Structure 1
Amino acid sequence: MQKRLQNYIPATSLSQVLSLLEHDNLVIKIKKERKTRHGDYMLLPNGKHQITINSNLNQYRFLITLIHEIAHFESYKTFGRFIKPHGVEWKRTFQRLMLPFLNPEVFPNNLLPLLAKHFRNPKASSDTDAPLALALKQFDEPSNKTFVFEVPLGSHFRLYNGRIFKMGKRRVKRFECVEVKTGKIYLFNPNAEVELINEENE
């Protein structure tokens, strides 16, 4: 476990993370990229608990995602199976587990104020926190992906499944975009990652 995790999280966080994982019935698996999630937690039929994390995450996003999923495990153990997945019990557990990591030995100084603000009321996904998501993205490997909120009005973009959309106006929290093939309107989260289609490539 130690050798596997040390390649994915900040070195200064390793010992504390390992202490959180000292459970005989908790299994950690590192998966190939999944487009719809960074990680997940589930109770397996054999009674063990499993956490999976995408292998392509940068070390800071990996750590946040791992603690997010450990918080699901801890809140299940403490409060039982009938709590809301991202309800108050999970939020408080996530805050408690994450607090020791929120220091400059683990995270870069430019991330700390954004993390402090985010963890006053953590959301189901850090991707819904636009400033934090953008700040975390700077540590990703270079790619052709961009956030929906960065796509210019009227430009075209492609989803991972190949569907092409035209960028529209912003509603209250989401962007109204038209699927080119069908003409149907869809609402997009500002932090959805898409591939911008340059004019010369259309």
Structure 2
Amino acid sequence: MPAEAAPLIGKWIDYFKCEFKISRNRNSKFGDYRAPYDSKGHRISVNFDLNPYAFLVTTVHEFAHLHTWNEHKGRAKPHGTEWKNNFKKMMQPFFEKNVFPPDVKQAITRYLNNPAASSCSDLNLYRSLRLYDPVKESMVTVEKLPGKALFKLKDGRVFQKEEKLRKRYKCVEVSSRRVYLFSPVAEVEVLNQNN
């Protein structure tokens, strides 16, 4: 995370008596919050491979869950009004410290108008955060592929890109001919037509 953000996150870990764990990469989520259960206290985990700004946004997202749980003892919706208000409040100190570059700050500010369950669901924020990821030579996003291009997922399945349907791209799995919808920002490996 950005160095200037670490002292406040450290205070939150102590204040909330939270077990904070840096986790392996999970494709399905960037972070996770677990409420106290069976003699275990609050637990937060954040994926190790996020860039500093994505790591901080995810960390604040999870601490907002913790704070909301403390206030409402599990009676508030996970991403309801109470969580949204806490998330907005808990982001403020990082704005005051100018932790984020201007483009990310602007994207977060727009996102905070109505934060969603995941920063990935706000494509503007997701794209802004991704600009600070290390470059992955063989990876490209689905939206940048030309039509009919072949691409591969990490699990080895091969797809062909088809047309855009509203927000997602229709893609056909080559082996099964089944149709899947892909987020425009899904990272995939481009295949040459010869592969």
Residue number in structure 2 paired with 1:3: none
2:54 aligned residue (43, 56, 61)? 61
Distance 1:87 1:59 in 2: 26
Question: Residue 131 of structure 2 aligns to which amino acid in structure 1?
Answer: Q
1:128–1:24 CA distance, 2 compared to 1 (3 A): closer
Residue number in structure 2 paired with 1:14: 6
Question: Residue 154 of structure 1 aligns to which amino acid in structure 2?
Answer: K
1:29 aligned residue (2, 21, 24)? 21
Residue number in structure 1 paired with 2:87: 94
Could you state the TM-score of these two structures normalised by the residue count of structure 2? 0.90
- Secondary structure in 1 matching 2:15: coil
Is the 1:128–1:189 contact (alpha carbons within 8 Å) kept by the matching residues of 2?
no
Q: Aligned pair 1:122/2:98, yes or no? A: no
- Secondary structure in 1 matching 2:14: coil
Q: Cα deviations across residues 103-136 of structure 1 (Å, max 9, x unaligned)?
A: 5730112222111111111111111222221221
Q: CA deviation at 1:95?
A: 0.8
1:92–1:24 CA distance, 2 compared to 1 (3 A): closer
Q: Aligned pair 1:153/2:141, yes or no? A: no
Q: CA deviation at 1:101?
A: 1.0
Q: Aligned pair 1:133/2:116, yes or no? A: no
Distance 1:83 1:162 in 2: 40
Residue number in structure 1 paired with 2:42: 49
1:120–1:28 CA distance, 2 compared to 1 (3 A): same
Residue number in structure 2 paired with 1:4: none
Q: Cα deviations across residues 168-192 of structure 1 (Å, max 9, x unaligned)?
A: 1111222211111100111122222
Is the 2:142–2:184 contact (alpha carbons within 8 Å) kept by the matching residues of 1?
yes
Bigger Cα displacement from structure 2, 63-72 vs 152-161: 152-161
- Secondary structure in 2 matching 1:82: coil
- Secondary structure in 2 matching 1:165: strand
Q: Aligned pair 1:81/2:74, yes or no? A: yes
Residue number in structure 2 paired with 1:167: 161
Is the 1:128–1:191 contact (alpha carbons within 8 Å) kept by the matching residues of 2?
no
- Secondary structure in 1 matching 2:185: coil
Q: Which runs of 5+ in 2 are unaligned?
A: none
Aligned residues: 193
Residue number in structure 1 paired with 2:30: 38
Is the 2:4–2:97 contact (alpha carbons within 8 Å) kept by the matching residues of 1?
no
Q: Cα deviations across residues 85-113 of structure 1 (Å, max 9, x unaligned)?
A: 21211111111101221257301122221
- Secondary structure in 1 matching 2:79: coil
Q: Cα deviations across residues 17-41 of structure 1 (Å, max 9, x unaligned)?
A: 2222223641011112111111111
Question: Residue 27 of structure 2 aligns to which amino acid in structure 1?
Answer: K
Q: RMSD over aligned Cα, in angstroms? A: 1.7
- Percent sequence identity over matched residues? 34
Could you state the TM-score of these two structures normalised by the residue count of structure 1? 0.88
Q: CA deviation at 1:52?
A: 0.6
Distance 1:70 1:169 in 2: 39
Is the 2:24–2:47 contact (alpha carbons within 8 Å) kept by the matching residues of 1?
yes
State the 4+ residue runs in structure 1 displaced beyond 4 angstroms: none
Q: Which runs of 5+ in 1 are unaligned?
A: 1-8
Is the 1:25–1:47 contact (alpha carbons within 8 Å) kept by the matching residues of 2?
no
Q: Cα deviations across residues 131-154 of structure 1 (Å, max 9, x unaligned)?
A: 221221121122133222222221
